[in-house]
A and B are shown apart, each in its own frame.
Chain A
C-alpha cells in the first residue's frame, strides 16, 4: 500500500536517528528543565547547541553541494504559513516543554510527559492532514515565493553569508561564555 524504500536507506535513516537521539540526550536537551531554562533565558544550552550545529552543518553541506555530492532541500518561503506556524509552534512549545525531536528523545529517556506530548504531536499533524483543504488557502494567503535562500535574496555568494554567520556564532559563544563565568562567580560570591 505504501512505498517502502531500500533496506540500505532504511538502515542509514535508523543509524542517523540513533546518533541524533544519542546527541540530543547527551546535550541534555531531551529534558523539560533545559528547554524551559532556555525559554526563560536562564540556561543557554539549547541555543549554544543550535548555533554550533548550524554553522558546522552549513560549511560541510555547502561544500558537498558545490562538489555535486548532495542537493539542497528546504521549504519554500510562504510568509503566511511561516507567521501562523511560528506563533502556534512557539506557544505549544512553551506549554509542552519539549520540541518535536527532543520530545521523541525525552520519551526515549523515559519522561512520561514527553510520551504524552508525542501522542499530542501526532494528533496535531493529523489535524493538518484532515483539514488540509481548509488550511492550504490560509497558509498561502501571502503567496509562495519559491525555494529561496538568504544569499539568493541578497544577491551574494553563500560563502559570504556563511563567513558572516561564523563570525556571529563565534562572538555569541564568546559572549555567552563570559556571561556564564560572571554568573558562576556571582553564584559562589567571589568579589573582584
Chain B
C-alpha cells in the first residue's frame, strides 16, 4: 500500500470525515471552530488601527466586534489561516501536485489567455466574495461547515442561498458548454 501522504488525492468522504474530526479537535482543544474570513477582516482592521487611527476612533466596528468577543488580535484564528497555507504547501510538495496556474482552462476557453484579465477578475471576485462573507458573518468554512454543524439558522440559510447564487453565476458566465472544460 502506498503512503497516503504522498498520494495526490484522497476520497471526498475521507477528507470530509477528516475535517469533521478536525472540528472536534478545534472545539475540544481551543473551544474554537474552523473559520477563515474573520481573520481577513482582522488583518484589515489592524491595518486601519495602524494606518488611520483617527478613522478607527470613530468606527463603530471595533465596539461592535469587542462586544461579540471578536476584536482584532493575534490569536488561534490568525494562526489557523497561516496554517492552511502551510498545510496545502506541504501536501502538494509531498505528492508533487504543485500548480503554477494563472489562467485555468475553463477561464481561457471563455475569456481568453490574458493573465491581466484573469488576475483583475480574481481580485474583484475575491473582494466581492469576502465583503459578502463579512456582511453575513462567515464563508464556506465559518458558515458552510462550522455553523451548519452547530445547526445555526444563519449558516444553513446562508450556505443554501450562497451556493444557489454561485451556481447561477457560473452558468451565466460559462453556460453548459463550460462543463467540457472542468
Contact = CB atoms under 8 A, between A and B. Distances in A.
Contact of A22 (B91, B152, B174, B178): B91
A9 B75 contact: yes
A149 B30 contact: no
Contacts of A84: 132, 135-136
A22 to B, nearest CB: 4
Given A53-B19, A72-B150, A48 B127 contact: no
A43 B155 CA distance: 23
Given A22-B91, A108-B89, A12 B49 contact: no
Interface residues of B, number: 134
A16 B15 CA distance: 14
Interface of A is mostly: helix
Contact of B87 (A25, A112, A124, A147): A25
Contacts of B86: 14, 17-18, 21, 108
Given A53-B23, A70-B28, A148-B153, A20 B87 contact: yes
Contact of A12 (B17, B29, B148): B29
Nearest to A80: B135
Contacts of B45: 129
A174 to B, nearest CB: 12
Given A32-B104, A133-B60, A40 B84 contact: no
Contacts of B176: 40
B136 to A, nearest CB: 3
A109 B99 contact: yes
Given A36-B174, A120-B124, A24 B84 contact: yes
Which of A40, A79, A81: most chain B Cβ within 10 A? A40
A18 B83 contact: yes
Contact of B162 (A93, A118, A151): A93
Given A4-B73, A13-B83, A149-B153, A69 B28 contact: yes
A122 B78 CA distance: 13
Given A19-B87, A26-B10, A50-B144, A100 B130 contact: yes
Given A106-B99, A111-B100, 9 more contacts: A5-B75, A21-B86, A53-B16, A57-B23, A58-B150, A89-B166, A99-B129, A112-B101, A113-B103
26 contacts: A4-B74, A9-B75, A14-B82, A17-B81, A17-B85, A17-B86, A19-B18, A24-B87, A37-B182, A52-B17, A57-B20, A58-B20, A61-B23, A75-B137, A75-B147, A86-B159, A89-B136, A95-B125, A109-B99, A116-B122, A122-B40, A123-B123, A124-B128, A128-B41, A133-B60, A139-B135
